[in-house]
Structure 1
């Protein structure tokens, strides 16, 4: 019987309860006969352009399996669960947070900023981070002022927030053929100069490039936008900082008949930690 993760994650997903195993030693190949030129030719790797990624690098990254994260204040949970979805700001009826994490000027700017290649503005989408180490969330964790965030939001303890977790594939659903239903931006989508992708093939390529980034700075700046709403049924788990918040979230879920997994995972809420582990 498999051990159960005390943080609420599925088996194998928590790096604390299920640390990665040490890699097995690679077998040493027997030396080839020196007189066999055919063996030498067969072992020689195919030529490739210097600096280009290995042909199998992209294939090893499942873009649809990449996790996405939406941060909100605990006091907003009731309205979210009542509507049955995470709603975009400009959707009908639209998100009306009790505690707004966004700075008023930033929210107004997103209501006017057009998304390249679509007929929508940024506020028509629900924003998701691609890592729990995203710069904007780290500003909250470290109480660092950020022009995108309401000053009061930065002053509140990170433990007062919850993180909705899903995946690119689940959020996308069957919308791979629909232009602009999901948009990927390599920075805040409302900022001039941000590079966006509104078609799935380009979104997939961008996601793989972000995942290959060695220092994590690129993926920490990016955001995935889901048009209008993400139903709560597509949320795989809600991460919280402590047991008290977990119990409050579970009570709220039971009140609306939902059984979404709730995970206590403090590293995602603490400053100066590698939250992605």
Structure 2
């Protein structure tokens, strides 16, 4: 029987309980001469590719719908979220009414007027998600670093006071891949001028794959995934917390509304990124 993850993740998904194994060294393969059409030996050098062009199989190996998405909120907002049965957009009806608003007032107001071209909606009509737990805005909270998108009090609170709702692109999208603006992807804060956005699924999929294979970690750390109006709690795969005390509080709140969403204790998501902290 497989070992059980004490942090609440499925087997194999926790980097602490199931650390990745070092890859075994591959034996050196003897080079085989290749023959050209004229019968002469070839150098074996691969055909030249256009600089910056992806490997032909690169996109095929990336399942955009399987990519995880993360919504961070303060623990005190949990009761309203669970009572609503969904993560709600700011401008939805009745809309998100956070007990502890971590967004800067000016940033929230700006998102209520910033239009997303072609969707007939503004940014505040969407629930915002991150594509990584090392996203810049969340790392600002973890490192107590001021950020214009965040209320000053947000970075003064311990990261342990927050919870992270986890889902995936495919679960959030559902079967409505032909609906314009059902989800939106932006390579930066969607309300900021100059941000590149995608509002149709084929374009979103291509953009997600590009972000996933980009060697520059800043690409995925800056991106924002938006879900129109609401994400029902039933579409949340798990709720990540920093410690057992918070886990027990979240589980009690879930039981009160009859939900059995998985709760995972995973401290690394709530600690400063070691690379950034150096």
- For the criterion TM > 0.5, the same-fold answer is yes
Describe the superposition over 1:90-138 as per-residue Cα deviations: whole angstroms up to 9, x where unpaired: 1011000111011111111000000122100000000000110111111
Other structure's SS at 1:117 match: coil
Unaligned runs of 5+ in 2: none
Taking the aligned partners of 1:218 and 1:39, their CA distance within structure 2 comes to: 45
Describe the superposition over 1:137-174 as per-residue Cα deviations: whole angstroms up to 9, x where unpaired: 11111111111111111111111000000011111111
Query: Cα offset for 1:212?
Result: 1.6
The aligned counterpart of 2:267 is 266
Unaligned runs of 5+ in 1: none
Q: Tell me, yes or no, if the aligned pair for 2:70 and 2:133 is still in contact at 8 Å.
A: yes
1:15 and 2:15 matched:
yes
Query: Cα offset for 1:40?
Result: 5.4
The aligned counterpart of 2:6 is 6
Taking the aligned partners of 1:174 and 1:65, their CA distance within structure 2 comes to: 14
Taking a change above 3 Å as real, the CA distance of residues 98 and 12 of structure 1, as seen in their structure-2 partners, is same
Taking the aligned partners of 2:30 and 2:140, their CA distance within structure 1 comes to: 54
Query: Cα offset for 1:7?
Result: 1.0
Q: Tell me, yes or no, if the aligned pair for 1:267 and 1:274 is still in contact at 8 Å.
A: no
Q: Tell me, yes or no, if the aligned pair for 1:112 and 1:121 is still in contact at 8 Å.
A: yes
The aligned counterpart of 1:238 is 239
Supply the RMSD in Å over aligned alpha carbons: 1.9
The TM-score with structure 2 as length reference comes to 0.93
Taking the aligned partners of 1:155 and 1:220, their CA distance within structure 2 comes to: 21
Taking a change above 3 Å as real, the CA distance of residues 229 and 26 of structure 1, as seen in their structure-2 partners, is same
Taking a change above 3 Å as real, the CA distance of residues 123 and 39 of structure 1, as seen in their structure-2 partners, is farther
Taking the aligned partners of 1:78 and 1:133, their CA distance within structure 2 comes to: 26
Query: Cα offset for 1:24?
Result: 2.9
